A and B are shown apart, each in its own frame.
Chain A
Amino acid sequence: QITLTQQAESLWVSPGEKVSITCRASQSLLYTDGKHYLSWYQQRPGQTTKALIYHASIRTDGVPTRFIGSGSGTEFTLSIEDVQPEDIALYYCLQTLKKPYTFGAGTKLELK
């Protein structure tokens, strides 16, 4: 199965700063259609999990433009520019290239 590694368990950030969360896959997530099957999710207490980014870099409808997905092959990054207090959450990457689908271990964004 494909392993996704999110190295940082926690990241500390002040409001207004930029933060990057990385996700490394054990094999390329590029499919023959030219798209990467890597998506990012936000999990906040008391709220349903929210899809932020799909195909590595496309924002889901309604997601603020400060959320930016990038990367290719096996290395992917979720960047949050101008972090807002409501961005404090857990962030997960997910690969849907091959079954079993697998998540990264998650990165907790915390306020300094």
Chain B
Amino acid sequence: EVQLVESGGGLVKPGSSLKLSCVASGFTFSSYGMHWIRQAPKKGLEWIALIYYDSSNKYYADSVKGRFTISRDNSKNTLYLEMNSLRSEDTAMYYCAAAISRTRFDYWGQGVMVTVSS
């Protein structure tokens, strides 16, 4: 069974840092590009980052560029999102998703909540 399990979320103050993890199982993680997508409360989905299967390329949405870093460890089947200089507008549910190609996002996790508030 395919599973993506996110963790590391929580309540933090503006300006703080947080690192999210996404552990994959049930598929060949090292063959898939991985994405982070977020959803602010009562809002739609926002793509924020992509890392290629071999970490050769990384892309970010303008809203997080320079503050967030996507990375992966294929030996641990784990995707990461390091978030720095967090703002209130970063408050959202954060999802990881796996994509064998840019055709579609094949698998999604259940999400982890990040709340940025003083």
Could you list which residues of chain A lie within 8 angstroms of chain B, going by C-beta atoms?
37, 39, 41, 43, 48-51, 54-55, 60, 92, 94, 96, 99-106
Contacts and interface: CB of A to CB of B under 8 A. Distances in A.
Contacts of A96: 102-104
Contact of B103 (A37, A100, A104, A105): A37
Please tell me the size bucket of the interface on B: 20 to 34
Nearest to A102: B47
Between A39, A51, A99, A101, the greatest number of chain B beta carbons within 10 A of the residue's beta carbon is seen for: A101
B107 to A, nearest CB: 8
B106 interface: yes
B62 A54 contact: no
Contacts of B109: 48
Interface string B15-47: 000000000000000000001010000001111
A93 B111 CA distance: 19
A103 B44 CA distance: 8
